[in-house]
Every structure is written in structure tokens, then in C-alpha cells.
Amino acid sequence: MVPAETDAPGDSAHVVEPPLWEQWAARSAELPQGERLQKVLSARGWGSRRVCEDLISAARVTVNGEVAVLGRRVDVEHDRVEVDGVPIGIRPGLVYYLLNKPVGVITTASDPQGRRTVVELVPDEPRVYPVGRLDVATEGLLLLTNDGDLAHRLTHPSHGVEKEYLVEVEGAVAGGALRRLREGVALDDGVTAPAKVSQPSPGVLRITIHEGRNRQVRRMCEAVGHPVTRLVRVRVGPLRDAALRPGEWRELDPQEVKHLIEAVGGNRPPVR
Ligand code: URA
């Protein structure tokens, strides 16, 4: 970078550098590679190019943590672009649906027996996959996405993403059984990790777990003598939606996607 001016000609110790944002603009304008930021934003649904230029001019867009200037180019594979601190989901075409799965629908992408599947309840294109699994008899929130990396992180045990359930069981649960549910229950695949458990009314439990074992909540309750009669998932990590009726779905908003990404450790390289 050529010094812009000096306040003491001939004295290189007093060189005045141009402001950082000007240096950034100059550097990125020199980059032949990359796409113009407003084009990338527009392609990700942030509005027309003009609207996206306004977002940039208003200093609401950052690239790798630095406020972006008009003319900035970005490498869509490597740069982290955020609007108001929200990642733009730089890979085009990623979608995130939150579904309230009804009873009787199965959590697979296709069923050889022809039963109704969760993917039939959301748009066909682009193709999405359920993140984790709810039993056919379980209701409640299920995330579906084509973001394989995020799906992998959300189901990876190392991240321990919380899932919260409202559980109707047979009989009122006594203190000893509640304590066992909280501290860990011996199942045939090992003792469960500590769980958050409360009983808002007799026979209704609120259980939060961060493991993802097969039929875990049903088996835990059965093991303490209280078979489950109704099971509803009301939260997945940061995601809740009490207004979504069974069978309804909606897209996550950018803040929700951001919170999900944060819940699994942020924008780090993919978990293997
Ligand atoms: N635990 C269960 O037992 N079933 C589910 O569907 C989810 C958690």
C-alpha cells in the first residue's frame, strides 16, 4: 500500500496510513477473484442489488468480522458474510424448515411400506432431510434441512444439543422416580445422562435431555414404572414454536439459523 500522505515530508516515521476501510476497499478491488458482495447478498435473498448496496453502505454487512465497503468482493467458499451479525448462509440454496410432526407420520426420507413421511409435509424442492428422529407416535418439533454439515453437528453427541419434551405418563410420578429420571436411568444400552425433569401437574412431565438414543424418553419413563401415553417435543436447542399446529411447517428466520449454528459451536470446520 502506497502511503497516502505524510505530515513530515521525507520522514518515513510519520507516514499517515489511509483509514483501514479504504485499505480494505483497495485490496479487495485488486482481487480479480470473488463475487461482488451485493450480488452474493441478493442471490441469498436479501433484496435487490440496490437494496443490498444500501445494506453495505449502512455498514450493516461484515466480511470475516470487518465492516464491508461497496465494491468488496467475496470468496463464497471461504469468507464469512453477516448482515447485522446474522450469517447469510453463504452457500446458495440452503433451507431450514421447522415442522410440527403429527402422530402417525414417520421420520424418514422415504418409506418402502408407503407410509406418510415427514418430507411429504414440506416442499419437494430442494430435497431436505430430517435432523434426528421422532417415533411415529411422537409429536412435535422436527428440523428438516439440506444443510448436511449443520444436520451432522446437531446430531453429533459431542454438541449435546438439548431436546425438551412434554410427556404424559400413566400415574403421578413420586419423588424417587423423578430423582432417578434426573440422575440417570439404567437402560439396556447403558445409564442415561443426567436430565432436567419437572412435573408441572400430576402425570405430566417436562423432560430435557441432550442424548439422542432410540426411544429414549419412552424407555426412561417405562423404566421408572410410568409408561408414556403422549410425547410431544417442544424444543430443539434454541428452537421453540408453540403456534405451529400439527402438520404445519415454516422456514427458520436468519436469527434462528444463527442461534442453531452457535448451539453447535459456530462457524467452525465440519465435524468428522
Ligand atoms: N424419545 C422417545 O422416546 N421418542 C421420541 O420420539 C423422541 C425421544
The Cα–Cα gap between 86 and 254 comes to 6
pLDDT tens by residue, 60-97: 999 999 999 998 999 877 888 888 887 776 556 788 99
Same fold, 5-87 and 162-236: no
Q: If you classify domain 162-236 with CATH, what class do you get? A: alpha beta
Helix axes 175-183, 216-223, angle to 10 degrees: 140
| Closest CA relative to residue 196, chosen from 235, 241, 243 | 235
Residue pair 237/193 in contact (Cβ under 8 Å)? The answer is: no
DSSP H stretches of helix in 100-174: 148-155
- In CATH terms, is domain 93-160+239-272 a member of 2.40.50.100? no
- Report CA(233)–ligand 1 centroid distance (Å): 8
| Of the listed ranges 37-51, 144-158, 181-195, 258-272, the one predicted with least confidence | 258-272
**pTM to 2 decimals?**
0.72
- Could you tell me the residue ranges of all domains in the chain? 5-87, 93-160+239-272, 162-236
Ligand 1 pocket member 263 (CB < 6 A): no
- Report CA(121)–ligand 1 centroid distance (Å): 20
pLDDT at 269 over 60: no
Q: If you classify domain 5-87 with CATH, what class do you get? A: alpha beta
Ligand 1 pocket member 210 (CB < 6 A): no
Lookup result for grid cell 448482515: 83
